[in-house]
A and B are shown apart, each in its own frame.
Chain A
Amino acid sequence: GNSVTQMEGPVTLSEEAFLTINCTYTATGYPSLFWYVQYPGEGLQLLLKATKADDKGSNKGFEATYRKETTSFHLEKGSVQVSDSAVYFCALSGRDDKIIFGKGTRLHILP
């Protein structure tokens, strides 16, 4: 079945550092790919998405590119802020209507 693997956390960075959170997937067909974020004390919300190969999703300075050849959807941000501290989930949605999430990566940004 479909699955998502993302890097284990926690990840701790200083403010203004470059961020990469790796995500790879296994899926039949051509799934849509998502990054969700869960800020402390809040529910999950969509951060960005990409629905086909080579698409780039972007939002709030975060970017991720749908790489079919490497089955990856890595999340990047050029300069993180303290307010980016949260848990980030990579997810995919396929033709079977199932939405599969990774285990989540907790990000701590130090001022």
Chain B
Amino acid sequence: SQTIHQWPATLVQPVGSPLSLECTVEGTSNPNLYWYRQAAGRGLQLLFYSVGIGQISSEVPQNLSASRPQDRQFILSSKKLLLSDSGFYLCAWTLGLSNTEAFFGQGTRLTVV
């Protein structure tokens, strides 16, 4: 069966420090991968998505970047965190068909101090 792993679960980082959140999927090949940020009153905001290795689409210009170095690995990064980067980050995957459901990781609660 397919599983998705996202870590860490919680993270407290100082302003100006770098960030790396990792997400891996097991049990499937060539998934579509997604990073979302969940904030109160704003719902789930799509940040990045990828349909294949090295293919990244950015939805919101901001202080973050994403990379997909392997088929089932998706990384969210920042060189210098801002206070406004605080939030709940969710990774998700799909089979790559528009009519199939998305499966979500457990999320990372990031607090920038």
Give the bracket for the number of chain B residues in contact with chain A: 20 to 34
Give the A-B contact count at a CB cut-off of 8 A. Answer: 59
Report whether B98 and A104 are in contact in the complex, using a CB–CB cutoff of 8 Å.
no
B94 interfacial by beta-carbon distance below 8 Å: yes
Contact residues, A63-77 vs B (CB, 8 A): none
Report whether B101 and A46 are in contact in the complex, using a CB–CB cutoff of 8 Å.
yes
A53 interfacial by beta-carbon distance below 8 Å: no
- B65-99, CB under 8 A of A: which get 1 and which 0? 00000000000000000000000001010101011
Report whether A99 and B59 are in contact in the complex, using a CB–CB cutoff of 8 Å.
no
Interface secondary structure of A, over-half rule: strand
- A26-42, CB under 8 A of B: which get 1 and which 0? 00000110101000000
List, in ascending order, chain A residues with CB within 8 A of B49's CB: 97-99
List, in ascending order, chain A residues with CB within 8 A of B42's CB: 103
Report whether A94 and B98 are in contact in the complex, using a CB–CB cutoff of 8 Å.
yes
Report whether B104 and A44 are in contact in the complex, using a CB–CB cutoff of 8 Å.
yes
Report whether B32 and A97 are in contact in the complex, using a CB–CB cutoff of 8 Å.
yes
B43 interfacial by beta-carbon distance below 8 Å: yes
Expressed in whole angstroms, the Cα–Cα distance for A72 and B66 within the complex equals: 33
A86 interfacial by beta-carbon distance below 8 Å: no
